[in-house]
């Protein structure tokens, strides 16, 4: 049987970009990645087009049940946006290049700011379920880096600076929006591990000691790639379970989804107001 030649990762990105551009050719300003149980922001988008992931060449397919698996194009707070309703996780078996493939595509579609949400466990004892944490820094505990391998010079430098991975002006605006709307919102450090199992008591204790306020299994790979491409990033966590040392309980996915739904209105408000301010 004749074997098709292997197409490079860079060419895969451009194939996906060209395919999407052929279906939706309007300029796009903002990219949004919606985390577990946090897809209701879609209801606030004036939707102009939806494209399922399986209709985009080389695009990964989400295997997480609560992730819809489609790109949403439209208007939010007066800005043109593309939203991922369903993200990809390293624990699903994808490489880091596959996990971050959509962010590369977004950049080539014209996106100028990236907004990321996730569901996270609260290590900080001051946190409560259903509250929000604006991420102001992170600790990367993944065993693989999305920039490993030959550098994609089309997208950025070999050694990108990470002294400010999250746009501090947006962090400050978010905290002001929360204050004006009487929302309990924290700032903090997000740590990410590969999963899919949750952490042991000893691991939670270690994560708190090294400076993490919340723990999850996503976000950081996308942020690393975005920063390599000079995309300003805003990221926010919904605290869906508590895992501070001395307050660790078993977690069920149903409870995580319920807590994410509790946090979602406040998160949506902050993201909408921030996008309006761009």
pLDDT band for position 244 (cuts 50, 70, 90)? confident
Rounded Cα distance between 138 and 219, Å, is 10
> What is residue 6's DSSP assignment?
P
End-to-end CA distance of the chain: 53
Residue 74 · residue 50 · CB < 8 Å: no
Of 62, 33, 25, the residue nearest 220 (C-alpha): 33
Please report whether residue 4 resides in a domain: no
Note the pLDDT of residue 94.
Answer: 94
User: 229 falls in which pLDDT band (50, 70, 90)?
Assistant: very high
Query: Which is more confidently placed, 238 or 62?
Result: 238
- Residue 3, in any domain of the structure: no
**For residue 253, what pLDDT is reported?**
80
21, pLDDT greater than 50: yes
Q: List the single range of 68-72, 78-82, 157-161 with lowest mean pLDDT.
A: 68-72
CATH of the domain at 240: 3.40.50.1580
**What DSSP element (H or E) covers 47?**
strand 46-52
Predicted TM-score (pTM) of the model is: 0.93
Residue 2 falls within a domain, yes or no?
no
Domain of residue 122, residue span? 23-277
- Please count the structural domains in the chain: 1
Residue 11 covered by a domain: no
Q: Which two tokens stand for residue 146?
A: 């999305």
Rounded Cα distance, 218 and 35, in Å: 9
243 belongs to a structural domain: yes
């Amino acid at each position: 049987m004749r074997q098709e030649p292997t197409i490079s990762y860079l060419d895969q990105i451009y194939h996906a970009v060209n395919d999407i551009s052929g279906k939706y050719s309007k300029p796009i300003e903002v990219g949004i990645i919606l985390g577990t149980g946090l897809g209701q922001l879609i209801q606030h988008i004036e939707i102009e087009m939806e494209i399922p992931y399986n209709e985009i060449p080389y695009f990964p397919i989400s295997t997480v049940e609560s992730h819809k698996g489609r790109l949403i194009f439209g208007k939010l707070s007066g800005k043109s946006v593309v939203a991922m309703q369903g993200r990809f996780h390293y624990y699903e078996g994808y490489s880091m290049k596959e996990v971050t493939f959509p962010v590369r595509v977004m950049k080539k579609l014209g996106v100028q700011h990236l907004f990321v949400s996730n569901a996270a466990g609260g290590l900080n004892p001051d946190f409560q379920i259903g509250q929000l944490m604006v991420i102001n820094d992170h600790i990367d505990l993944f065993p693989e880096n999305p920039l490993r391998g030959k550098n994609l010079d089309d997208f950025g430098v070999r050694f990108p600076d990470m002294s400010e991975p999250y746009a501090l002006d947006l962090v400050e605006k978010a905290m002001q929006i929360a204050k004006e709307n009487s929302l309990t919102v924290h700032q903090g450090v997000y740590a990410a591990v590969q999963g899919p199992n949750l952490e042991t008591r000893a691991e939670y204790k270690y994560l708190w000691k090294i400076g993490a306020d919340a723990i999850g299994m996503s976000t950081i790979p996308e942020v690393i790639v975005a920063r390599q491409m000079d995309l300003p990033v805003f990221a926010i966590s919904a605290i869906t379970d508590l895992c501070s040392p001395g307050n660790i309980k078993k977690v069920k996915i149903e409870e995580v989804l319920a807590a994410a739904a509790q946090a979602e209105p406040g998160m949506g408000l902050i993201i909408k107001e921030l996008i309006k301010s761009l």
